[in-house]
Structure 1
Amino acid sequence: MNVKKLLFLCALLGAFALAFWLLPPGALSLDSVRAHHQALLAQVQRFPLQSAALYFALYVLVSALSIPGAAILTLLGGALFTLWEATLLVSFASTLGATLAMLVSRYLLRDWVQRRFARQMRTVNEGMDRDGAFYLFALRLMPLFPFFMVNLLAGLTRLSVGRYWWVSQLAMLPATIIFLNAGRELGKLTSLHDILSPGTIIAFTLLGLLPLATRWLFSRFSHTSL
């Protein structure tokens, strides 16, 4: 690892340490946000622009550093802001955070992975060049794949930043709106499992796989016709 990457890694570890100092264990829990809901709501009503900016910055920080708690922050956004305000804040903050996390993975790891696993990555790169947006769309919609893992894996590929941004923002929007709506009933929630039912998870999975399946069927049909 060269000096620049080593310094960047040290800065990243420092950011982790600062984030955990600012967000002690339990700060981003359902019980914690419920307990402070009314006090936070009063602050939002008193300082709406400052509160929105602080919420946006916190969301980007949590997403970029892959700190557990993004789902709780989404619920809190639904409880503190109107639906359209919260949708704008969370959609852009989560996408910005995800893109920063992907760029960190790309800067620190991609060159080494591409060299170390050149033969395997050649196949991956060809697939991502051809169907990368469809794979990313599917992974983003499937709740089974952790948010941080998708960012990490995408950083190892040659998927362009622009495509990564718009596909992520589009694919994460349905779950964002569901969580924001759930946040409007924050006091009634007992766990995150109350939000995504098995039926919803299956529906998201099928929706994510639909573009890939359609592309595969089209390719197969075209090949057969020729």
Structure 2
Amino acid sequence: MPHTPTKSRSHALPLIALAGVAFGLAFLFRDHLTFDALAANRDAFVAFRDQNFALTALIFMAIYAGIVAFSLPGATVATLTGGFLFSTFPGVVFNVAGATVGATLLFVAARWGLGDWLSSKMDTGSERIRKVKAGIDDNQWSMLFFIRLVPVVPFFVANLLPALLGVPFSRFVISTAIGIIPGALVYTSVGAGLGVVFARGEVPDLGVIFEPHILLPLIGLAALSLVPVLLKVVREGRAK
């Protein structure tokens, strides 16, 4: 037990380093990960893509993964860029791939940091804490899809929380890759129409995901992901 404080501090080092790098990159690229920067450099991006499609796709996914891994502002702009450069398809594939890789890197860093230590503390904590942890563990798939499908849950929170709660690696990756598809598809399709938006000198409507015809289906999918939880509650209630 005497080594626990030192061990917990050493486990926190990856997260501290990640936060420091993220802060530095956010400051360094604060004027580059914006819609204005995309609009100003769109012709150069398109020309490079036309000459080097495969390389452009790889560079794009690597940059997107870095933005997500370091939780930098600009993920939405990156998604729009994916649609602008590669159209809705295969743009949505590149967007989902980049976001999933970035989210996985952040998940691993958080797990390597405090995730396992915090999970063990919850397992050995008070009875109430253990019950909360057990409830989450029993419904992990439903909860993971729920936080991905609800657009009001910040993306970095949905990446960090599972790591801190001891969610298995494979389960996190699968739920992330599938759960972000609806939102990614919406914003990728918006990005695919940026050519017209640029020509008009306008800005894209980023609030489109909150339009009823888009938001309601997303809420429906989120509610559907909770059906197993509700069925389990009903079964347990009847058993009593």
TM bucket by the smaller chain?
A: 0.7 to 0.9
Point out where structure 2 has 5 or more consecutive residues left out of the alignment. Answer: 1-5
Point out where structure 1 has 5 or more consecutive residues left out of the alignment. Answer: none
One-letter code aligned to 2:176: S
* Structure 2 counterpart SS, 1:195: helix
Separation of aligned partners in 2, 1:5 and 1:221: 40
Moved more, 198-207 or 34-43: 198-207
Moved more, 119-128 or 162-171: 119-128
What's the RMSD between the two structures over aligned residues? 2.6
- The structural deviation recorded for 1:16 is 2.7
Offset from partner CA, 1:191-218 (integer Å, 9 cap, x none): 4534313312333123112121354136
Query: Does the CA-based 8 Å contact 1:62-1:69 persist in structure 2?
Result: yes
TM-score, normalization by structure 1 = 0.86
Separation of aligned partners in 2, 1:195 and 1:203: 13
Moved more, 214-223 or 156-165: 214-223
**9 and 134 in structure 1: CA distance in 2 versus 1, 3 angstrom threshold:** closer
Query: Does the CA-based 8 Å contact 2:82-2:191 persist in structure 1?
Result: yes
| Correspondence for 1:213 | 227
Moved more, 71-80 or 89-98: 89-98
Residue 197 (1) aligns with residue 216 (2): no
| Correspondence for 2:114 | 109
- The structural deviation recorded for 1:60 is 0.6
Residue 74 (1) aligns with residue 87 (2): no
Residue 12 (1) aligns with residue 35 (2): no
Separation of aligned partners in 1, 2:83 and 2:61: 13
Query: Does the CA-based 8 Å contact 2:118-2:165 persist in structure 1?
Result: no
| Correspondence for 1:85 | 90
| Correspondence for 1:128 | 136
Q: Equivalent of 2:39, from 25, 34, 53?
A: 34
Offset from partner CA, 1:165-200 (integer Å, 9 cap, x none): 111111100111111111011142624534313312
| Correspondence for 1:49 | 54
Query: Does the CA-based 8 Å contact 1:124-1:157 persist in structure 2?
Result: no
Query: Does the CA-based 8 Å contact 2:142-2:225 persist in structure 1?
Result: yes
Offset from partner CA, 1:121-178 (integer Å, 9 cap, x none): 4223312321111001011011100000111111111211101111111110011111
- The structural deviation recorded for 1:101 is 1.1
Q: Equivalent of 1:149, from 150, 157, 162?
A: 157
Separation of aligned partners in 1, 2:171 and 2:120: 24
- The structural deviation recorded for 1:86 is 1.6
* Structure 1 counterpart SS, 2:133: helix
Give the fraction of aligned pairs with identical amino acids, expressed as a percent. Answer: 26
Residue 186 (1) aligns with residue 199 (2): no
**218 and 109 in structure 1: CA distance in 2 versus 1, 3 angstrom threshold:** closer
Query: Does the CA-based 8 Å contact 1:125-1:158 persist in structure 2?
Result: no
Query: Does the CA-based 8 Å contact 1:114-1:121 persist in structure 2?
Result: no
Separation of aligned partners in 2, 1:184 and 1:111: 41
Separation of aligned partners in 2, 1:104 and 1:92: 18
TM-score, normalization by structure 2 = 0.82
Query: Does the CA-based 8 Å contact 2:84-2:191 persist in structure 1?
Result: yes
- The structural deviation recorded for 1:82 is 3.7
